């Protein structure tokens, strides 16, 4: 499910810059509860008032605004729930700051980094969120991302722990950077790519566009384009580069796998990653058989049964999450 920044949508609506699809999303949110409708109405009143006089901002007000905006952004990313009246008053007060600042160009006053960070931990198989700049992020289970409620003018910096797929909004003069704590950084202007970090290695797979990956200050960075994959192992202090022929590694995000005359060894490897299980071919020679088939959101048991019918395998499941394919022959 995608999360929307409703504060931004309200601003775009009042400024006359909202798209038809965004307006549908905003209206759905307004109709979800009386509280949302009241908040939207309050925004509109404040917007009208803000055009009548020029507010004067102190440094304290700027700092307070950034904290309040971060709080609003976090609230709009959270699931809808009933909110006590004192929380609604807080939101209404926050709305004052958001509207006044949007009218008078507060973004140009923002410092290099916002004081509060919003973070998401995906507690399900996959979760989609939208960053303040419109960048789309799909988080894989247990992944965590941190980002400011307001990006700095000079760069867009986020922190990632785990695996995530990015569709970065293009901003030529505002580079997008992903900090991988202890594992380097990724720099990009606008592209689609996957980042995976764990204790053993860090891998970057680019679907389209260009990405620069720099693991640390000692290792020279590499420039990756569509179809390129980089794997960095800190113990070896080297980056291994390769070209991919399929994007099955992204199946957790796309929901499907595609095999075209693919060796069974590679098929098994992709299935293990996608379903998070262990699958062993008892006869290693079977791994050279070429397999062609699309898979879209199919249960593992159905996939294994299909392989068994195709190659006359016998399937055993000695322990949960572990499968053995024995016998069999190539077609």
Band (pLDDT 50/70/90 cuts) for residue 41 is confident
Which of residues 87, 109, 131 is at a domain's end? Answer: 109
167 band by pLDDT with thresholds 50, 70 and 90: very high
In terms of Cα–Cα distance, which of 311, 291, 295 is closest to 303?
295
1 in any annotated domain: no
Q: Is pLDDT at 239 greater than 60 in this prediction?
A: yes
Given this model, what pLDDT does residue 271 score? 93
Mean pLDDT over each residue of the chain, to the nearest integer: 78
User: Would residue 208 count as lying in a domain?
Assistant: yes
Residues 87 and 190 in one domain: no
**Chain centre distance of CA 101:** 28
Q: What is the per-residue pLDDT for 216?
A: 83
Residues 220 and 276 in one domain: no
Domain boundary (210, 243, 276) is at 243
Q: Which pLDDT belongs to residue 312?
A: 92
Q: Are 142 and 236 in a shared domain?
A: yes
CATH classification of the domain holding 217: 2.60.120.1440
Query: Same structural domain for residues 222 and 312?
Result: no
* CATH number of the structural domain spanning residue 308: 3.55.50.30
Looking at the fold, whether 272 and 158 belong to one and the same domain comes out as no
Q: What is the arithmetic mean of pLDDT over 92-120?
A: 48
Same domain, residue pair 121 and 207:
yes
Residue 26: is its pLDDT beyond 50? yes
Pair (210, 261) in one structural domain: no
Residue 212 falls inside a structural domain: yes
Q: Are residues 122 and 151 in the same domain?
A: yes
Lowest mean pLDDT among 44-48, 102-106, 284-288: 102-106
Amino acid 76: pLDDT? 54
Asked if residue 189 belongs to a domain, the reply is yes
Q: 């003018």: which residue's tokens?
A: 153
Least confident of 49-53, 135-139, 268-272: 49-53
Question: 82: which 2 tokens?
Answer: 């009933």
| Residue 49 banded pLDDT, cuts 50, 70, 90 | low
Global pTM value: 0.57
How many CB atoms lie under 10 A from the CB of residue 60? 8
* 194 and 286 inside one domain: no
Q: Using alpha carbons, select from 228, 269, 232, 264 the residue that is nearest to residue 248.
A: 269
- Considering only residues 317 and 331, tell me which one the structure prediction assigns the higher pLDDT: 317
pLDDT band at 45 (very low <50, low <70, confident <90, very high): low
Write down the pLDDT at residue 22: 75
- Convert the pLDDT of each residue in 277-287 to its tens digit: 999 999 989 99
pLDDT greater at residue 61 or residue 296: 296
And the tokens for 293?
């088939």
Regarding whether 261 and 231 lie in a shared domain, the answer is: no
Are residues 150 and 220 both part of a single domain? yes
Q: 276 and 237: one domain?
A: no
Tens digit of pLDDT for each residue in 251-264?
A: 888 888 889 889 99
H helices of the chain, in order, are 6-14, 20-31, 34-50, 59-77, 85-103, 251-254, 264-275, 300-311
Q: Which of 164, 169, 167 is nearest to 179 (CA)?
A: 164
Q: Report helix, strand and coil shares of the chain as percent, to nearest 5.
A: 35, 30, 35
Q: Domain containing 134: what range?
A: 117-243
Contact 140, 91 (CB under 8 A): no
Number of domains in the chain: 3
Report DSSP state, residue 221.
P
55 vs 197: CA distance, rounded Å = 46
5 pLDDT band, cuts 50/70/90, is: low
Q: Is the pLDDT of residue 67 over 70?
A: no
């Amino acid at each position: 499910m995608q999360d929307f920044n409703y504060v931004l949508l309200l601003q775009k609506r009042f400024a006359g810059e909202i798209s038809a699809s965004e307006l549908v999303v905003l209206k759905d949110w307004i109709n979800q509860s009386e509280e949302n409708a009241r908040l939207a109405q309050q925004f509109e009143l404040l917007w009208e008032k803000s055009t009548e006089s020029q507010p004067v901002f102190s440094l304290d007000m700027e700092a307070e605004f950034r904290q309040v905006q971060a709080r609003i952004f976090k609230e709009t990313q959270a699931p809808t729930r009933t909110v006590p009246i004192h929380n609604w008053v807080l939101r209404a007060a926050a709305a004052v700051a958001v509207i006044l600042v949007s009218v008078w160009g507060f973004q140009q006053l923002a410092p290099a980094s916002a004081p509060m960070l919003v973070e998401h931990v995906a507690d399900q198989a996959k979760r989609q969120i939208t960053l303040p700049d419109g960048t789309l992020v799909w988080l894989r289970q247990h992944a965590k991302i941190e980002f400011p409620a307001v990006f700095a003018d000079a760069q867009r910096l986020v922190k990632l722990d785990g695996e995530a797929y990015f569709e970065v909004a293009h901003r030529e003069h505002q580079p997008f950077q992903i900090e991988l704590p202890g594992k380097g950084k990724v720099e990009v202007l606008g592209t689609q790519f996957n980042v995976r970090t764990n204790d053993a290695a860090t891998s970057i797979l680019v679907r389209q566009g260009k990405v620069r990956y720099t693991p640390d200050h000692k290792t020279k960075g590499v420039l990756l384009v569509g179809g390129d994959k980089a794997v960095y192992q800190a113990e070896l202090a080297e980056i291994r580069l390769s070209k991919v022929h399929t994007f099955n590694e992204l199946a957790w995000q796309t929901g499907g796998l595609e095999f075209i005359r693919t060796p069974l060894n590679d098929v098994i490897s992709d299935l293990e990653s996608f379903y998070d299980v262990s699958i062993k071919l008892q006869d290693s020679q079977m791994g050279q058989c070429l397999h062609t088939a699309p898979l879209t959101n199919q249960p593992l048991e159905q996939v294994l049964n299909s392989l068994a019918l195709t190659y006359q395998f016998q399937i055993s499941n000695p322990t949960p999450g572990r499968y053995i394919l024995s016998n069999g022959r190539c077609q």
